[in-house]
Every structure is written in structure tokens, then in C-alpha cells.
A and B are shown apart, each in its own frame.
Chain A
Amino acid sequence: MNSETLRAVVDCLIPPDDFPGAYDAGVCHYLKRLFRTDLASQSGFFRAGIEGIEAEALARFNTLFADLTPEQKISILAAIESGDVKTSWSISPSRFFEMLVNTTAEGFYSDPQQGGNRHAVSWVMTGFENVSDS
């Protein structure tokens, strides 16, 4: 699984603005650990999905996913979400995408010990914890 692809994907799902995006918050670390532990049985499924994203990028734009424009990346992810793929997938694109979105959100919004919410950035962002007041 290409780390650059995964980084680009999670930053489309939870993009950086004036708060960090998923990558800077540590979501890739969270996902790598998750698919080695609790979801080890799903790691092949997940890897196949990331490879599917890479294949879609090459088929549609002849470019690596990570090098696409934000609009191009979003168009590919939206197509996968709705199952509208141009390449041959060994797994269900929409089921993979649902797992991708959910696990990314789990990393970003759950407790920092999980590894995907570094410095509790999402808790400060949402107001669940106001670090300046504590």
C-alpha cells in the first residue's frame, strides 16, 4: 500500500484548513495500526481498495492519485463511493469506501491514544475539549 496515496486520500476525506487535516493528525498511523490489529482480517480488503484508487487515477488521468488536483481527487473518490468505477475491482468499491470513511473519522475524532487525533486537535476543533480553558 502506497503511503503517499493513503495520505492524499485521508486528506480528501478530512482536509486541512486552519485545523490540521487527517494526515497531520496522525490518521495514517491509526489506520496502519488498526489493520494490523482489530481489523487484521480486513487488511487485504483495505489494501485492494487503496490499490483500486490508484488504478482509477491512472485510468482516468494517467497520473498518480497523490499528484492529482483536489478536484480530480474528489471526483475519483465520489465515483468510488457510488460504485461508478472504470477499472476492474476485486472488492465492492462502495463497501470499501464506507469502511475508509468510517475508519478515517474514527481515527480523527476518537481519543488521542488511538493515534489519529494528535494533540486532541479534533477535540479542540469541535469544542469537546477547550484546551485553553483547561
Chain B
Amino acid sequence: MNEYDAIIIGTGAAGGIVACVLAEAGKHVLLLERGPQLSFAEVGRDHLRNQRLAIYGHNAGPELIGNPRIFVDPQGRSRIVKPHELDYHNNAACVGGGTRVYGAQAWRFHRDDFRMASKYGVPAGSSLADWPISYQTLEPFYERAEWELGAAGDGNSIQHQTPRKRNYPLPPVPPGPQTAALQNAARQLGWVTSPVPLLINTKPYGGRASCIGCKYCVGFACPTDAKSGSQNTVIPRALATGNCELKTSTIVESIDTDARGNVTGVSYLVDSSGATRRETARARIVIVSAGAIESARLLLNSSSSLHPAGLGNKYDQVGRNLQGHLYPRAYGISSARVFNGIGPGVTIATTQFNHDNPGIIGGGMLADDFIKPPIDFWYDSLPPDLPRWGIENKRFMRENYTRVMHVRGPVQDIPNPEGRVTVDNAVRDKWRIPVACLSGTTHTATVEAAEFMRERGEQWLRATGCERIWSTQPGLILSGRQHQAGTCRMGTDPAASVTDEWGRVHGHDNLFVVDGSLHVTNGGFNPVLTIMALAFRSAEYIAQVVL
């Protein structure tokens, strides 16, 4: 049996960083990933089967067959869902996790995102709470993520992050044909804007080439490796030390405990050439970084006589407060072309409305959008009163694909305990492991904020001079998807949280969760840089203090 200092489960935004920090500190690490290592060609450019538009499948996993979940709708009806269905709330299953195919927006949270309950109180039915740490505590680790992975932006222009100690290592992406109009409109409205920070090389950085402006960021892999994810930054660094062993196509079945209830290692299944093999590894500590849904599922599935409800779940907190973001979207037809075929496409944002909106709890960031392939545009972006077929629909696509201006953004989710992950022993995946069951919705306060942000989106486009403006917001649904968070929240009270501020599971010395599951709240921003910053912070603590 193998003995490691640490076993890390998951190679996404957090797991890769933890592996890197521990391996570089000389620790012997086993890094486990349920999916395979995928090349650029294997991810491909299928417009109907990708992480952004997954009508018939995914390009970065998991496979459609053998990986079900259960979704319970607001009326209480449950059904089995496959990974390409929206209600599955998928994130990629491959080396790099979601960072293999993400858009790579690199936002720091707002300082008030860490103190939502203090700022707004706790709305009835919600589990709104403060984080156990502040923005100031996390700030050095945000900076570290920006510099070690490679972020591009203009830090001094981002209103809520000033003053910063250090700017981004790379200049922002250049403006697009829509940027000046949005900037001028914002100025008229008295709104501050900035370039959108991205983990994309605008110049060669970290031994990798710069962005060539292709049109395929969100949902696809980068042809020049200019987009920085775990798979091309921290994981290669971890492997280069010789201290990190990476096993792919390996699914962890359970976290193992001894007769006294202490964590000893993991049992996992290796999927190779049609045969499945069960193996066990032992380690001084185990770190779960499988994403908010799968991390909660694994803790819940690791039950024993001493932990009958699963690990860390003495107070029935594991899996609760599942959250992501509602995305209001606004569109308008510009008199000028707003498309030049040069990606990423997202160029300008405002954080004017992340907080301090009258009558609203929280708020969100608004930005223009990544280039949308025409079929995404057809599904997502047509006016609601346009016929869905016939010559009028075709003419609209022809005349307006390059003229529709888009703004959208993530709205801070107001969490509640009923939005949650449980496990269902009656439904198993292809390895016979009980699957995740998702239920609940976001809180009505989130929908109020989304409606407010939808109106701000329309207001912004109207000020650019766009004609024929339309917009949507999703209403009262469960949010999660690629921004999934919150299911093992950090806190000081073991009865109301799952881990301490370092991600150490309450009641355990050597079991950690490090990923979006820790987020007490999920900010009004793309969450990945916060996941990365927390991972650097926890990993340093583990390397310096625990191991």
C-alpha cells in the first residue's frame, strides 16, 4: 500500500494549486482526477457538444452514459439527468477541470462580498453569512494567483479593488469594436468601467505563447495554450518536482477512516481499457477539491459507523447552500458592426452595481460577452418577438449577428439551506457509487437582484444608442453550474458550517476541503480567482503548519 503526505482529489482550479504548493514544499502528493488528460484536438470545436452549449454531449467530460445525477424540481418531482442537461449542473471532468475549457475571467471579489450578513442582515429563509476571513486576508493570495497563473488587466481601473498592492502581470485584452460605445455610454451614465481581467496571456508569459484572438474561449480549449488553467500552469510545476504522482481516469469511491474515525486515505477505482480496478492509498492528510457538487457527494458517501451521515456532516451541513449565479442578459442592435471576429470578445465591465443598490441585497458585475458561435447566438440571443423560423429569422441572423451588442453578468446568489446536494443510494453511477441529487432553488432576493441587473443592462445598451433592446433573467431556479459553490462552507461554528477558515473539516485534524465548496457566499463575479486564492492560502497553511 502506498503512503503519501497528501492525497488531493480533483485537478481543477483548486486541486492543481494545492498539488503545486505541496509538491514544491517537498511533500509527497497523490493527485487524483476522475477524467482523462485531454489534448487540444480531443477537446475539439464541436459547436453542439461543448462546455458552453452541450446539446448532445460534452467536450471535456463527463461521458453521457454512466454518470447520472438526480434533479428535483421546485414542485418536488425528481428525475434522472445526464451530464449535458442543464439541470445536471455539470463542470468539466478532465485534467484541469473547468479551467480546461473556461472563459478565464479573473475577478477578485468585492470586500463587501465577505461580509454580506453584516452589511445586509439575514433575509428570512436565507443562510446569508459573513466569511470567517476578510478581503484583506485573501488579498495577497489573489495577487499570487494573478502572478503565478498569469492574469491580464488594468488593476488600477477596477473600482472595487483599489488601491491594489500590485497590478496584473499582463496588459488587458485590446478593445473590440463595441468597447468605445459602451465606455462612452457608461461615462454618460456616470458609471465607472474597466477592462475585463482574464487569465489569458496577452503577451508570452510563463513559458507559454500569447493569445492569437481565435473565437473559442468559453467552452473550448486554447490553440496556443495562452489561456491559463491548472493543466498548463500549476500541474506541470507540481509534476516537475518529482514529488507529485497524477492518476487520471480515477474516481474516488470513499474517504477511508480507521476504527477511531480518523481519516487514513482513500479508496478509488481506476478505469483502464474497459476493466475497473479498486485500489487504496494511505496518506497523512486528504484534501477534497472535486467541485461543490462532487466534493459534497464524496463526503456524504464516506459514511461509517462513527460517521453515519457522512464525513463532516454531524450537523447536516454538508451539501447545503449550493449556489452559483443567475445571469441576467441584455441585447440591443447597434447601428455599427460590433463584431470583428477577434476573440476573446469580452472587453469592458462595470462593478458599479455590485453593492449599495437601493432595496437590493448584493448585485453583480456587468460585462460584454465572449464571442458566441452562431448556433449559441441563435439559441441565446434572438429577440423574443422574432419568429423562430422562416425568412425573417434567417434575415435577422444575416443582418444582425455582427450588430447585436450583449451585456450580461453574474448576480450575487443569496444562499439558502434548501438549495442542496444529497446522495441517493438507489441510483448509482457506472462504478456503483451513489449519485448526487440536486434540489431547491436560489432565494427570491437573488431574483430581485437579477431583475435589477437586467434593467441596468438595458439601461447601458440604451445609452449606447442601440435600438430594439431586449433582455432576460432566469427567475427562481437552482443556480450552480460551472460557478457551483457553497456546499461545505467555511465558518467558526461547527453547527452552521463544514470547515474552518483553512478548509479543515470540523472535527477532523487531517481532512480538508479546498474548492468553491468553501465559499460562504459566491460574490457577484466569476468565482475562479477566489477559488484559486483560497487554494493558495490553504495549501500554504497545510505545507507550513499541518504537514
Of B337, B373, B374, which is in contact with the most chain A CB atoms at under 10 Å from its CB? B374
Query: How distant is the Cα of A19 from the Cα of B394 in the complex, in angstroms?
Result: 10
Given contacts A13-B389, A101-B388, A127-B339, contact A109 B398 (CB under 8 A): no
Q: Are A38 and B57 in contact (CB under 8 A)?
A: yes
Query: How distant is the Cα of A55 from the Cα of B445 in the complex, in angstroms?
Result: 50
State whether the Cβ of B215 lies closer than 8 Å to any Cβ in chain A: yes
Interface with A: B40-48, B149-157, B200-208, B467-475, which one? B40-48
Which chain B residues numbered 225 to 280 have a C-beta less than 8 Å away from chain A? Answer: none
State whether the Cβ of A68 lies closer than 8 Å to any Cβ in chain B: no
Closest to A120 in B: B374
Q: Contact size class for B?
A: 20 to 34
Closest to B402 in A: A127
Query: How distant is the Cα of A105 from the Cα of B377 in the complex, in angstroms?
Result: 11
State whether the Cβ of A51 lies closer than 8 Å to any Cβ in chain B: no
Q: Which residues of the partner chain B approach A24 to less than 8 Å between Cβ atoms?
A: none
Known: A15-B391, A19-B394, A111-B46. 4 other contacts (CB 8 A): A111-B373, A127-B402, A128-B374, A129-B341
State whether the Cβ of B541 lies closer than 8 Å to any Cβ in chain A: no
State whether the Cβ of B131 lies closer than 8 Å to any Cβ in chain A: no
Q: Which residues of the partner chain B approach A77 to less than 8 Å between Cβ atoms?
A: 389
Closest to B48 in A: A110
For the complex of A and B, the 8 pairs showing the least CB-CB separation, nearest first, are: A126-B401, A110-B47, A109-B375, A38-B56, A109-B374, A13-B389, A127-B402, A110-B375
State whether the Cβ of B477 lies closer than 8 Å to any Cβ in chain A: no
Q: Which residues of the partner chain A approach B48 to less than 8 Å between Cβ atoms?
A: 106, 110-111, 114
B 17-48 to A, binary, CB cutoff 8 A, 1 in contact else 0: 00000000000000000000000000001111
CB distance from A128 to the nearest CB of B (A): 5
Q: Which residues of the partner chain A approach B375 to less than 8 Å between Cβ atoms?
A: 105-106, 109-110
State whether the Cβ of B180 lies closer than 8 Å to any Cβ in chain A: no
Q: Are A123 and B374 in contact (CB under 8 A)?
A: yes
Closest to A111 in B: B47
CB distance from A20 to the nearest CB of B (A): 10
State whether the Cβ of B390 lies closer than 8 Å to any Cβ in chain A: yes
Q: Which residues of the partner chain B approach A17 to less than 8 Å between Cβ atoms?
A: 391, 394-395
Q: Which residues of the partner chain A approach B394 to less than 8 Å between Cβ atoms?
A: 14-15, 17, 19
Q: Are B47 and A126 in contact (CB under 8 A)?
A: no
Query: How distant is the Cα of A114 from the Cα of B46 in the complex, in angstroms?
Result: 8
Query: How distant is the Cα of A17 from the Cα of B393 in the complex, in angstroms?
Result: 12
Q: Which residues of the partner chain A approach B353 to less than 8 Å between Cβ atoms?
A: none
State whether the Cβ of A74 lies closer than 8 Å to any Cβ in chain B: yes
| Residue in contact with A101 in the complex, picked from B215, B389, B391, B395, CB distance below 8 Å | B389
Q: Which residues of the partner chain A approach B395 to less than 8 Å between Cβ atoms?
A: 17
Which chain A residues numbered 19 to 74 have a C-beta less than 8 Å away from chain B? Answer: 19, 38-39, 74
Q: Which residues of the partner chain B approach A102 to less than 8 Å between Cβ atoms?
A: 379
| Residue in contact with B46 in the complex, picked from A39, A74, A101, A113, CB distance below 8 Å | A113
Query: How distant is the Cα of A56 from the Cα of B378 in the complex, in angstroms?
Result: 29
Which chain A residues numbered 86 to 134 have a C-beta less than 8 Å away from chain B? Answer: 101-102, 104-106, 109-111, 113-114, 122-123, 125-130
Of B46, B389, B390, which is in contact with the most chain A CB atoms at under 10 Å from its CB? B389
Q: Which residues of the partner chain A approach B117 to less than 8 Å between Cβ atoms?
A: none
Can you show 15 pairs from A to B with CB atoms below 8 A apart? Answer: A13-B389, A14-B394, A15-B390, A17-B395, A19-B394, A77-B389, A102-B379, A105-B378, A109-B377, A110-B374, A111-B46, A111-B48, A122-B397, A127-B339, A128-B215
